């Protein structure tokens, strides 16, 4: 029996921030993923629309989330994602956070984002199960 | 093996040292991590809170409650900005209910909080109620301690005014503001359900809507009746408000920022009243007493839960009662016996009623 299933231990849900960063106004996906995360038992802090990278960083740091999900449909991921990562690094908060990006990211950009430290990129049509499973398996286990 | 607290004592102790030092140095990440430890009841969190406690005690704590959609988050956002304008630092704890089905929660209060973007001196933390009975208020109290120790001048606690645990949450505040919206019969119902008694300041938000005069009038009347009827209140229940404080009714339009200065003035007035009257000290004593009771009760419950598990679990015991082998009182008695032997008989509620057999 692992420590996590020990009945003596408090239930500790995975904490996530689902953030709409940048100027696109399409938040349907972010809503759907927020609800799916909730139904999976996660705690979801939802940012609302049109957040600047610094707002996302502020929220992620203050909320001390395990998982940051950035929803970007504007195509500006090549500037927004590095801005968020740098912000998190300035608070020493990036290393222990799982960073996932949802949205339309062309293949040629994916490798670059991964090199920056994005843990996964989920494009349109990704089954919700896969995303949730990925988060469950990869969310940082803190001591 | 009741708690994890004594496992790896030195490890957690050193970790807490580092965390507390970083927090006192003003590192936001350390503050965030401390609140996480507190919220999760992680090993060593008690030691952590104990260490923070000596650095706390200077923050003013404002509780804001109201029905869903009354505009709490927007108001808190504007209030935080107003405090910042005066040069004060702000902590916000926004409590949201969690889903009773999955235990998950969507914490949406941040959506409305855009006035203080990029200003880390407003530290907003969302918390889910996580379905723990009484657990939210303990976690909130401890999180307030962390924000206080960090050096926040004001800590605002925001919660839906729906049930007992939410009421307990706002009662951890020095000053409680109750938010209502015009023309809402629901809000009047809510006030009947015990929210009225805890308000020090009433805020009619969305004051640009129709029906504002009537809502203000109704509210004012209810407040008057409240102070008249205080003598009829349950004597065991400490009156939350001194009769010499008449809760003001403030009108705001949170989205436009109208009336925020009035609200700020009303909150300041109440803080001043607490300082000059004996009420402030009494409230603090009440609060600490309640916290002590809660801690003792929680730990006591856990000890008893463990004892129940040792005796085969609650279901086994329930089955024995169902099968007619024994009765609930006898089972409860047998579980409590060792405790009573240890602490001495004392006077339990049942004995006070005279419905239980005498014990030597």
Mean pLDDT of all residues in chain B?
82
Whether B226 has a pLDDT exceeding 90, the answer reads no
What superfamily would CATH give domain B56-277? Answer: P-loop containing nucleotide triphosphate hydrolases (3.40.50.300)
Cβ contact, residue pair B102, A38, below 8 Å: yes
Say yes or no for a CB contact (<8 Å) between B125 and A58: no
pLDDT at B355 over 50: no
> What's the confidence (pLDDT) of residue B81?
94
Give yes or no for A141 touching B (CB within 8 A). Answer: no
> For residues B222 and B317, which has the higher predicted lDDT (pLDDT)?
B317
Q: What are phi and psi of B298, to 5 degrees?
A: -60, -50
Q: What percent of chain B has pLDDT over 70?
A: 81
Nearest-CA neighbor of B198 among B230, B221, B175?
Answer: B175
Residues A42, A13: Cα–Cα separation, whole Å: 5
Q: How far apart are CA B324 and CA A49, in angstroms?
A: 61
Grouping H, G, I as helix, E, B as strand and the rest as coil, residue B309 is helix
User: How does pLDDT run across B31-89, given as a tens digit for each residue?
Assistant: 999 999 998 888 889 999 999 999 998 999 999 988 778 888 899 999 999 999 999 99
User: Confidence class of residue B102 from pLDDT cuts 50, 70 and 90?
Assistant: confident
Q: What is the pLDDT of residues B162-181, one digit of tens each?
A: 666 667 777 788 999 988 88
| Higher per-residue pLDDT: A2 or B183 | B183
Q: Would an 8 Å CB–CB cutoff place A54 in contact with chain B?
A: yes
Tell whether A46 is within 8 A of chain B (Cβ): yes
**B122-128 and B105-107 strand pairing:** unpaired
In the stretch 5-34 of chain B, residues with CB closer than 8 A to chain A read: 28-29, 32-33
Query: B219 near B285, Cβ under 8 Å?
Result: no
pLDDT at residue B184 in the model: 65
User: Any CB–CB contact under 8 A between A13 and chain B?
Assistant: yes
Six token digits for residue B134: 């009484």
In terms of CA atoms, which chain B residue is nearest residue A93?
A: B29
Rounded to whole angstroms, the Cα distance separating A54 from A57 reads: 5
The answer to whether the CB of A59 falls within 8 A of the CB of A131 is no
Q: What percent of chain B has pLDDT over 90?
A: 41
Distance of CA A46 to the CA centre of its chain: 11
Tokens 């009156």: give the residue.
B239
Digitized pLDDT (tens) for each residue of chain A, 143 residues in all = 333 333 334 357 899 999 988 888 788 888 999 999 999 999 999 988 888 899 999 999 999 999 999 998 888 888 999 999 999 999 999 998 999 999 889 999 999 999 999 999 999 889 999 999 999 999 987 65
- Would the CB atoms of B35 and A64 count as touching at under 8 Å? yes
Three-state DSSP at A96 gives coil
Domains of chain A (ranges, CATH numbers): 15-138 (3.40.50.280)
> Is the pLDDT assigned to residue B118 strictly greater than 60?
yes
pLDDT at site A70: 94
Q: What is the reported pLDDT for B192? A: 64
CB of B120 within 8 Å of a chain A CB? The answer is yes
Nearest to A8 among B1, B106, B107 (CB): B1
**Cβ(B77)–Cβ(B114) below 8 Å:** yes
| ipTM given for this complex | 0.85
DSSP states of B100-154: TTTS-EEE-GGGG--TTTT-TTEEEEEEE-TT-TTHHHHHHHHHHHHHHHHT-SE
Kindly indicate the confidence band of residue B214, based on its pLDDT and cuts at 50, 70 and 90: confident
Cβ of B117 and A39 within 8 Å? no
**Chain B, nearest residue to A51 by Cα:** B114
Run of H or E residues at B287: helix B279-310
- Low-confidence winner among A106-115, B186-195, B288-297 (lowest mean pLDDT): B186-195
Q: Using a CB–CB cutoff of 8 Å, tell me whether A64 touches chain B.
A: yes
Of the candidates A10, A11, A44, the beta carbon closest to that of B105 is on A44
> pLDDT at position B340, please?
86
Residue B63 pairs in a beta bridge with B157, B176
Spatial contact of B117 and A55, defined as CB atoms under 8 Å apart: yes
Contact B130 A9 (CB under 8 A): no
In this complex, do B104 and A38 lie within 8 Å of one another by their Cβ atoms? Answer: yes
Crossing angle, helix B45-53 and helix B9-24, to 10 degrees? 40
The dihedrals phi and psi of B122, each to the nearest 5 degrees, come to -110, 110
Give this prediction's pTM.
0.83
Q: Which of B28, B35, B106 sits opposite A46 (nearest CB)?
A: B106
The pLDDT of residue B186:
61
Q: Each residue of B10-36: pLDDT tens digit?
A: 688 899 999 999 999 999 999 999 999
State the pLDDT at residue B238.
Answer: 46
How many angstroms separate the CA atoms of B262 and B124, rounded? Answer: 23
Please give the residue that has the higher pLDDT: either B229 or A121.
A121
Beta-sheet strands, E only, within chain A: 15-20, 43-46, 67-72, 98-103, 120-122
Smallest Cβ–Cβ distance between A41 and the set B4, B40, B103 belongs to: B103
Per-residue model confidence (pLDDT) at position A57: 94
**CA A59 remoteness from chain centre:** 12
pLDDT-based confidence at residue B211 (cuts at 50, 70, 90): confident
Q: Is the pLDDT of residue B151 over 90?
A: yes
Scanning the structure block, which residue is given the tokens 């290393």?
Answer: A95
Q: Which residues contact B249 (CB under 8 A, 6 or more apart)?
A: B202, B203, B204, B216, B219, B220, B223
Q: What is the pLDDT of residue B85?
A: 94
Answer yes or no: is pLDDT of B341 > 70.
yes
DSSP string, B185-232: HHHHHHIIIIIGGG-SEEEE--TTSTTHHHHHHHHHHHHHHHHHGGGG
Residue B277 has pLDDT above 80, yes or no: yes
Q: Side-chain half-sphere of B267: how many Cα atoms within 13 Å?
A: 26
From the CA atom positions of chain A, what is the Rg in Å?
15
Q: Does B331 touch chain A (CB under 8 A)?
A: no
Interface contact A139, partner B, CB < 8 A: no
When mean pLDDT is compared across A41-50, B132-141, B249-258, the lowest value belongs to B132-141
Give the nearest partner residue to A44 out of B29, B40, B106, using CB atoms: B106
A55 touches chain B (CB under 8 A): yes
Smallest CA–CA distance from B92 into chain A, residue: A62
Domain limits of chain B? Answer: 11-55, 56-277, 291-345
Three-state DSSP at B325 gives: coil
Residue B98 near residue B166, CB atoms below 8 Å: no
- Name the minimum distance, in Å, from the CA of A31 to any CA of chain B: 10
- Dihedral over alpha carbons B145, B151, B153, B156 (to 10 degrees): -40
Q: What is the pLDDT of residue B231?
A: 47
Per-state percent for chain A, helix, strand, coil, to nearest 5? 45, 20, 40
What pLDDT does B360 receive?
Answer: 43
């Amino acid at each position: 029996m692992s420590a996590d299933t020990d009945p003596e231990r408090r239930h500790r849900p995975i904490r996530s921030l689902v953030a709409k960063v940048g100027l696109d106004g399409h938040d349907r996906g972010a809503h759907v993923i927020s609800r799916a995360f909730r139904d999976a038992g996660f705690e979801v802090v939802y940012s609302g629309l049109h957040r600047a990278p610094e707002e996302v960083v502020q929220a992620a740091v203050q909320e001390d989330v395990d998982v940051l999900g950035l929803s970007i449909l504007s195509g500006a991921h090549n500037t927004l994602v590095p801005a968020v990562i740098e912000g998190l690094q300035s608070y020493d908060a990036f290393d222990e956070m799982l960073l996932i990006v949802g949205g339309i990211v062309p293949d040629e950009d994916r490798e670059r984002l991964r090199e920056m430290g994005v843990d996964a990129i989920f494009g349109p049509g990704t089954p919700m199960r896969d995303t949730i499973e990925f988060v469950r398996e990869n969310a940082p286990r803190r001591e | 093996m009741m708690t994890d607290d004594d496992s790896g004592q030195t490890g957690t102790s050193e970790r807490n040292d580092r965390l507390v030092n970083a927090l006192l140095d003003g590192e936001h990440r350390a503050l965030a991590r401390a609140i996480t430890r507190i919220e999760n009841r992680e090993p060593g969190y008690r030691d952590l809170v104990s260490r923070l406690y000596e650095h706390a005690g200077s923050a003013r704590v404002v509780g804001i409650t109201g029905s869903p959609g009354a505009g709490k988050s927007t108001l808190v956002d504007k209030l935080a900005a107003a405090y910042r304008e005066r040069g004060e630092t702000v902590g916000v704890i926004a409590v949201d209910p969690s889903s009773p089905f999955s235990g998950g929660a969507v914490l949406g209060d941040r959506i409305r909080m855009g006035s203080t973007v990029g200003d880390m001196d407003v530290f907003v933390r969302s918390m889910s109620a996580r379905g723990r009975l009484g657990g939210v208020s303990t976690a909130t109290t401890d999180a307030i301690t962390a924000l206080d120790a960090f050096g926040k001048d004001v800590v605002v606690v925001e919660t839906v005014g729906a049930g007992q645990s939410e009421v307990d949450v706002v009662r951890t505040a020095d000053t409680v503001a109750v938010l209502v919206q015009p023309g809402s019969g629901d809000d009047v119902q809510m006030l009947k359900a015990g929210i009225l008694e805890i308000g020090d300041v009433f805020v009619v938000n969305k004051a640009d809507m129709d029906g504002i005069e009537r809502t203000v009038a109704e509210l004012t009347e209810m407040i008057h009746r409240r102070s008249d009827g205080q003598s009829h209140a349950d004597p065991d229940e400490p009156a939350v408000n001194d009769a010499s404080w008449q809760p003001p009714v403030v009108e705001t339009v949170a989205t436009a920022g109208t009336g925020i200065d009035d609200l700020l003035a009303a909150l300041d007035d109440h803080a001043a009243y607490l300082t000059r009257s004996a009420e402030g000290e009494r409230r603090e004593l009440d609060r600490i007493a309640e916290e002590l009771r809660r801690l003792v009760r929680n730990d006591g419950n856990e000890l008893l839960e463990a004892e129940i598990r040792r005796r085969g679990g609650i279901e086994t015991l329930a089955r024995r009662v169902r099968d007619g082998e024994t009765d609930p009182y006898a089972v409860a008695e047998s579980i409590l016996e060792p405790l009573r032997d240890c602490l001495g008989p004392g006077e339990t509620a049942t004995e006070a009623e005279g419905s239980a057999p005498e014990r030597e």
